[in-house]
Amino acid sequence: MKGLENTQDLNGGWFFKGDSDGSLLNGGEHDESTFFDSLFEETQKIAAVTNGENKADIVIKLWKNGFTVNDEEIRSYTDVANQQFLESVRKGELPLELQKVFHEQELDVKVEDKKDKVYLTTKPVFHPFSGRGYRLGSATPRITTEAQNGLKNAEKETDIPSVLLNDLEPITCIQIWLADGRKLVQKFNLSHKISHIRAFVENIQGATHGTFFTLATSFPYRELRDETLNIQEADLHNAVIVQRLSKIDTVRSS
């Protein structure tokens, strides 16, 4: 909320500075300590150990000047949509932007406390699409809270096809979340095209006639329709890509 001068109340409880750094308000009854303590306390009330393979990991890091989701761009605490996102998590609800990416998958949401550190970035502040969520239950994704130092390593896989790399060109790591719940991390050159990522996924699963899928980024959600673009052109450096099954073959650029 650019230009905000007065303190904002997030659903009657959480207060934020209105200055440009988007930090949590220090001091007073509703200080940053109360905010973080409540967020951890409420999510732990519904914490559950997730053992299913069809599970996706979401890591929310709470910094002094904002928060990140899976190490994506920093999100300001003063943005109304971001406040709604955190409030949904605090109440044990699944934010709408996560609903758009994950359907039947069980969600393992981990909240890390880094409120004493300032997140430094040259990227612009991220403003996600957000909205009303729904209460988490036995048939919906569940939230767990734990501290950790980074994203989980990818699960062990066998028979992973090799990707031909050019060591003289820039290389990036792409996280790929398959529709069957597996999570892979694969190196690509920035010159590799989205079509190469699709081919890699097809080789992993074994191309089956009549099985169609789309590829999309996780946060923010963006369907990768033009597969002639390379990783650099599509801004997929260190991205998380999600495979989504579809009944009808999506028309792709040739």
E strands in 48-131: 55-63, 66-69, 93-94, 106-114
> Would you say residue 192 has pLDDT above 90?
yes
Label residue 145 by pLDDT band (50, 70, 90).
very low
Give this prediction's pTM.
0.41
Whether residue 81 contacts residue 130, with contact meaning beta carbons closer than 8 Å, is answered with yes
Whether residue 183 contacts residue 177, with contact meaning beta carbons closer than 8 Å, is answered with yes
3-state secondary structure (DSSP) of residue 99: helix
Write the CB contacts of 94 (distance below 8 Å, at least 6 apart in sequence).
Answer: 88, 107, 133, 134, 136, 140, 141, 143
pLDDT tens digits, 233-244: 999 988 899 998
Label residue 247 by pLDDT band (50, 70, 90).
low
Q: Which of the pair, 38 or 136, is modelled with greater confidence?
A: 38
Write the CB contacts of 158 (distance below 8 Å, at least 6 apart in sequence).
Answer: none
> Would you say residue 102 has pLDDT above 80?
no
- Rounded mean pLDDT of 195-214? 79
Q: Which of the pair, 228 or 22, is modelled with greater confidence?
A: 228
Q: Which domains can be identified in the chain, with CATH numbers? A: 8-135 (3.30.420.210), 171-246 (3.10.20.90)
Q: Closest Cα partner for 98 from 76, 66, 120, 72?
A: 72
- Which neighbouring-strand residues pair with 217? 222, 241
Write down the pLDDT at residue 53: 57
Write the CB contacts of 34 (distance below 8 Å, at least 6 apart in sequence).
Answer: none
